[in-house]
Structure 1
Amino acid sequence: MTVNPQDMLNRYLEAEEEVLAGREVRMNGKSLTLADLSDIREGRREWERRVERQKAGGGGPAFVRFV
């Protein structure tokens, strides 16, 4: 699967918005957050760096292949 860094960054931004909007389940007085905001933010920062390297014309290929 080939992924464009900008597309990945957009996905992380969407996920961050969903968590910040309160994507949470409450049952019997306990809550479950469906995503870890700190993990999402860490991933977003990584993809922001990749997008910036791509825009600068360096840092390797424009696409990443996940196997």
Structure 2
Amino acid sequence: MRTENPDSLKWRKSSFSGGGGTGGGNCVEAAALPDGRIAIRNSKNPDDGTAYFTRTEIHAWLQGIKAGEFDDLA
């Protein structure tokens, strides 16, 4: 599967990733790729790598988050 250059993507940062408040400066960014996948990275350390997921995988993950399945990790 072809991987885009992360620097060429249009990244969107979570509104919960701000410098203050509950985000504490932890920054998560996501970008849509032309082939339909979603790229996720840490905006504070973008050179540390980018994870790529299908839309089905992202949907399942977000549903789990909304259902509280990962609350014990926070």
Same fold (TM over 0.5): no
Q: What is the TM-score of this pair, normalised by structure 2?
A: 0.29
Higher Rg: 1
Q: What is the TM-score of this pair, normalised by structure 1?
A: 0.31
Q: Which fold has the larger relative contact order, with Cα–Cα distance below 8 Å and residues 6 or more apart in sequence? A: 1
Structure in which a larger fraction of residues adopt helix: 1
